[in-house]
Structure 1
Amino acid sequence: MCTAITLQSQQMENFFGRTMDFSYWIEPGLYVVPKNYVWTNILNNHRFYNYYSFIGIGQESDGALGFFDGVNEKGFAAAALYFADYAQYAMPMIHLGKKPVASLDFLHYILGRCGSIEELNIILQNLSLIGLPDPITQTVAPLHWLATDRSGQCQ
């Protein structure tokens, strides 16, 4: 189980931290992803591009790059958190006209496209998260996410 926290100091400085209590062997690396970077959604090979550059901790596996956490050039930060038995995703073929994004790609998607919690809320209205087996556990990872922005808002 992973945990995360955000807080704002009296000087209006924002802090974001997380644990990664994960019982599987991982080999994370530090990645800098440039603005306008084009990447492929593992769900359906749809190509997305990033509006913002970001730096993140992630892992490349089977040719796909998945992120655990990161922060972008706008001060928007987010983390993917593992919490067994508490995730539910849309079925792969039933996403009711919303843009399907693999749960494993969601962090990359929002770090590259959101500059604030307000922007995240707009994006979420038209997005359908689809669970796919990850290459580490070979199961659909029970993920949830925490995001915060420069103002200190979080979701």
Structure 2
Amino acid sequence: MCTALTLKTKDGYHLFGRNMDIEFSFNQAVTLVPRNFTYTNRAIDKSEKTKYAMIGMGTIIDNHPCYAEAMNEKGLSCAGLNFPRYSHWEEETMEGKINIPPYDLILWAVGNFESISELKPELEKVHIVGKPLNENTPLPTLHWILSDTKGDCIVIENTMEGLKIFDNKVGVLTNAPTFDWHITNLVQYIKVSPTQPSETILGEENINPLGQGDGGRGLPGDFSSTSRFVKAAFLRSNSVLGDDELSGIVEFFHILSGVSMIRGSVVTPQNINDITQYTSCMCQEKGIYYYNTYNNNQINAIDMKKENLDGKEIKVFEYRDKQVINYEN
């Protein structure tokens, strides 16, 4: 499970990030891949090279960077979210197509394009092939949200019906079912308002709110994909930002905390607690990756533009999962 979010600050910066809701750690860490990085496309067993440097949360498997979400030096960002029962991968490659395994779509898109408008025509050629990274790593079930510094946002889904691209005007994504279903479902909440409800009359009885804080009445409060989509869309649409980027970052983390999973609230069929392992927020213009974790709610920041983007090696930053407390005395 997961929730992804986009947000624009009052001073014009674009933010992109997500909650990573999962019942286990996957050896994740903030990972910087330099420009002109060469990797093996397992779908066609050939070496390919990226164009742009990128930073995001991921894991290295057989010297192969596998990103959960990432942004490049131009600001194009992408996150993969779990899409069980709906995602579909082709069994064979197709000549004349861009054959990509699902775990490489982020690496390919963020590594080679500056914007959604540049990427979109190439997506029509994409053929997602279900070839595992290795025999010990199962294929993921994913759909993707992408955003750029122009404010464009799309969702990519590959189902039995083929690859579909949706313009995402609500700026959020969760999990199954399909994105167009989630948009239709928002109609059920068309009357939900952040304002305090007023007095009403039923029969001859005056009905008044019991107290302050009744805004948002009717919003779902559970942790299902459908409920998180509605709540995140509502919180994003009604968020009140200050005048600068920092205010936007603060609100970004607050919005995602409103749909985060607390240990014990969601238990998997294997009797394991599903939690929000981390929350990320990327400033797409500045190239700064912010994150906090379930065990450490201090916000950590890594500026990719302070690193050598022409380096030859992947750089992995320590995953700071131990709580930091500011003791005043």
Q: TM-score, normalised by structure 1?
A: 0.88
Residues 1:66 and 1:144: Cα distance change in structure 2 (over 3 Å): same
1:60-114 Cα distance to aligned partner (Å, 9 max, x none): 1244321111110111111111121121122224x25202111111111111101
Q: Deviations over 1:33-53 (max 9, x none)?
A: 111111111223221111111
In the TM superposition, residue 152 of structure 1 has moved relative to its aligned partner by 1.0
Aligned to 1:41: 41
Counterpart residue number, 2:26: 26
* CA–CA separation in structure 2 for the residues paired with 1:138 and 1:70: 20
**1:130 maps to 2:129:** yes
Alpha-carbon distance, 1:22 to partner: 1.8
How far apart in 1 are the matches of 2:109 and 2:3?
Answer: 19
Query: How far apart in 2 are the matches of 1:135 and 1:96?
Result: 23
Higher strand content, 1 or 2? 1
2:77 matched residue in structure 1? 77
What TM-score comes out, normalization by structure 2 length? 0.44
Counting matched residue pairs gives: 154
Distance 1:24 1:42 in 2: 26
Letter in 2 for 1:4: A
Shift in Å at residue 135 of structure 1? 6.1
* Structure 1 vs Structure 2 CA RMSD: 2.0
Aligned CA distance change for structure 1 residues 62 and 39 (closer, same or farther; 3 Å): closer
Distance 2:51 2:98 in 1: 17
Q: By how many angstroms is 1:140 displaced?
A: 2.7
Query: In the alignment, residue 128 of structure 2 is paired with which amino acid?
Result: L
Provide the secondary structure at the position in 2 that maps to 1:20: strand
> How much has 1:137 moved relative to structure 2?
8.2
Distance 1:63 1:13, change over 3 A: closer
Please say which of residues 66-75 and 125-134 is displaced more in the overlay.
125-134
Task: Give the match for residue 113 of structure 1.
Answer: 112
Structure 1 residue 5 displacement after superposition:
1.2
Percent identity over the alignment is: 30
Task: Specify the code of the residue in structure 1 equivalent to 2:89.
Answer: Y
Shift, 1:138, TM fit: 4.6
Instruction: Indicate the residue corresponding to 1:5 in structure 2.
Output: 5
Distance 1:69 1:137, change over 3 A: farther
Q: Specify which structure has the higher proportion of helix.
A: 2
Deviations 1:120-143 (A, max 9, x none): 202202211112346698543210
Amino acid at match of 1:49: K
CA pair 23-96 structure 1, distance change in 2 beyond 3 A? farther
Distance in 2 of aligned mates of 1:42 and 1:63 = 13
Residue of structure 2 in register with 1:99 after alignment: 98
* Structure 1 letter corresponding to 2:111: G
- 3-state SS of the aligned residue for 1:21? strand
Contact 2:39 2:64 in 1 (8 A): no
